[in-house]
Amino acid sequence: MGLLLAGCSGKQTLRGVFSKEQTPYEKYAAKLKDAKLDETALGQEWLQAGQQALRDSITVTLPFKETGYFSAEKPKALGYRIAAKRGERLVVNLEMKAREQAQVFMDLFEAPAIPSAEAHRVASADTASTSISYEVDEDQQHILRVQPELLRSGQYTVTIQAEPTLAFPVQGKTSRNIASIWGDPRDGGVRLHEGVDVFAKRGTPAIASTEGVVSKVSVTPRGGKVVWLTDVKRRQSLYYAHLDSQAVAAGQRVQIGDTLGFIGNTGNAITTNPHLHFGIYRFGRGATNPFPYLYESNQKLPDVRIDASLVGNWVRISAKSANIRLQPTIKSTVYATLPQHTPLQVMGGVDTWYRIALPNGTEAYIAGSLVEATTKPVRYEKISAETDLLDEAHPLAAAKDSLKPGNNVAVLGNYNGFQLVRNDDGLLGWINTEGDVSLR
């Protein structure tokens, strides 16, 4: 097993949607199958965890930062669902802290419109760099999957951010200076605004948002003095209108930041203050909203402020009842309301929220103020009849140990007819309180 896993660490390059080369994840999975490890319980768990992360991904809001722990004992994959917009660049970085070097596979997928359909991979990380930078081509849900190789433990920190793919087209301004947006009514509602407007002093330079070739320099009744810049890389044209004057000629190649013209109010903007109308037209597909191409969030990555010592361990609800949510925010949908002393396993944390797993395996988030460590028992009880100490809160779970009559257990929490307990030897497990077992 060790030799096989060590042989899966070849360096790979970032690849996109059109790549036919196997990803590091696919190569690793293929080697597991070649060695028939996919027929073992451990190998099957690893492959199933990867698929489950795509099906049961947790929706996150950017910018996002989470710290958690991968345990070598149980294969696990993380799934993060992101509402991505055309024109954004998704930037993902992963930091691992582990005693032994561990490969971690990161893959980005377009989420299928039909839940039962297969997710389409669009980018993968080089296992040496553990980062992804991907320009979003369509408004669509995307899923990031993060999964370590078998038999490796370590603490992870994953960050996901969105940034604009184009430089801002007005010198000295930012996306916070956009005054009129895509879809605003024009001419009494007869047409809609196919771009964004940025107001600035007359004569302020309008600059190239990307490297490209100037395709047209002209004067039109509506746009006044205009410049068209071809963005060959993204198969689109950038439109600069209402210029006071133009500073380039058709056929000229420009770099990011080069001056194309100067802000004015020519064309049908003659009655308004000087501003740039900036539009984007995709080849063969027409106008598209420029805002995501230019928007730069001023939100900073949140610090992870949970108690890191609890990651991988059990906590319980300390309040009389508590809501667990689908996202780490009070504005998120409530997934369930749980009673006091419900045990939860901490999988990671975002800001002051714990990412937790219920005893049935479902993952969600809970505010850190609503839980407490299980170091101090709820109470002590004595076993009155022989019973099994189970590894899960399920009637068919495997027995870890047998508790004899007279044995003392520390009760740490309650869940659906089961109790999480610790025996005299410090072993944690579950006992079924709805069977023939009685406690006193």
β partners of residue 226: 218
**C-alpha span between 111 and 144 (Å, rounded):** 10
Average pLDDT (13-22) is: 51
φ, ψ for residue 337, nearest 5 deg = -110, 125
Average pLDDT score over the chain: 91
Give the 3-state secondary structure of residue 5: helix
Preceding peptide of 63 cis, ω within 30°: yes
The helix (run of H) or strand (run of E) holding residue 30 is helix 24-34
> Quick one: average pLDDT of 284-299?
94
pLDDT at 2: 42
pLDDT of 342 above 60: yes
Helix (H, G, I), strand (E, B) or coil at 384: coil
User: Going by C-beta distance under 8 Å and a sequence separation of 6 or more, which residues neighbour residue 425?
Assistant: none
Q: How far is CA 48 from CA 42, 103, 141, in A?
A: 10, 18, 22
- Mean pLDDT computed over 352-364: 93
Reported pTM: 0.87
Share of the chain above pLDDT 70, in %: 91
Write the pLDDT tens digit of every residue in 132-170: 999 999 999 999 999 999 999 999 999 999 999 999 999
Half-sphere exposure of 106 (CA within 13 A, CB side): 26
Residue 114 and residue 110: Cα distance in Å, rounded?
A: 12
Question: Residue ranges of the alpha helices (H) in 229-347?
Answer: 291-294
> What is d(CA 402, CA 242) in angstroms, rounded to the nearest whole number?
82
Q: Using one digit for the tens of pLDDT, what is the confidence trace for 242-272?
A: 999 999 999 999 999 999 999 999 999 999 9
Number of helices and strands in the chain (H, E): 4, 34
**Rounded Cα distance, 374 and 378, in Å:** 8
Is 66 within 8 Å of 355 (Cβ atoms)? Answer: yes
| Residues facing 383 on adjacent strands | 439
